């Protein structure tokens, strides 16, 4: 894990970061990450870089996901989020948290799509039944 305090990065370094970012393709994930990094530092926020396999406690995972710890434990018990036991405690890999959030985002997008076309589907069904 590596932490970078915003106050340790001066304007010249941020300008160099911008130049590096400009050399990357527009749709590059690395470019997006560098944009996020620069924006956070310019806003005075520190940034911590961790690997996907870094394991966090349920309390930390709940904070990352923006939910209560008790709700997180329900998701863990249902197997919706993978975890490993360390003694009597649980640890969750950041990659598993990302996988869960991506799955939830896909499900939410699908649900929104269904609701968006609900009236169209109902009308089509009524027309088919009327024939």
Q: Taking all residues of the chain, what is their mean pLDDT, rounded to a whole number?
A: 92
Q: How far apart are CA 84 and CA 69, in angstroms?
A: 16
Closest CA to 72 of 96, 52, 51, 53: 96
- So what's the pLDDT on residue 116? 78
Model confidence at 71: pLDDT above 90: yes
Model confidence at 85: pLDDT above 90: yes
Model confidence at 39: pLDDT above 80: yes
Q: Where are the domains of the chain?
A: 2-49, 55-116
- So what's the pLDDT on residue 8? 96
- So what's the pLDDT on residue 117? 77
Pair 94, 53: CB distance under 8 Å? yes
Q: What is the pLDDT of residues 100-131, one digit of tens each?
A: 999 999 998 988 888 877 777 777 777 778 77
Give the contacts of 46 (CB within 8 A, at least 6 positions apart).
3, 4, 5, 6, 40
Q: What is the pLDDT of residues 14-36, one digit of tens each?
A: 999 999 999 999 899 999 999 99
Q: What is the pLDDT of residues 95-106, one digit of tens each?
A: 999 999 999 999
């Amino acid at each position: 894990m590596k932490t970078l305090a915003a106050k340790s990065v001066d304007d010249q370094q941020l300008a160099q970061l911008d130049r590096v970012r400009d050399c990357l393709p527009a749709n590059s994930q690395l470019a997006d990450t560098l944009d996020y990094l620069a924006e956070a530092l310019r806003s005075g926020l520190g940034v911590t870089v961790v690997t996907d396999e870094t394991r966090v406690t349920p309390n930390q995972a709940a904070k990352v996901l923006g939910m209560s710890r008790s709700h997180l434990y329900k998701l863990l018990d249902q197997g919706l989020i993978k975890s490993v036991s360390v003694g009597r405690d649980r640890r969750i890999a950041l990659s598993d948290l990302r996988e869960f959030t991506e799955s939830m985002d896909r499900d939410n997008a699908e649900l929104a799509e269904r609701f968006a076309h609900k009236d169209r589907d109902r009308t089509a069904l009524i027309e088919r039944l009327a024939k």
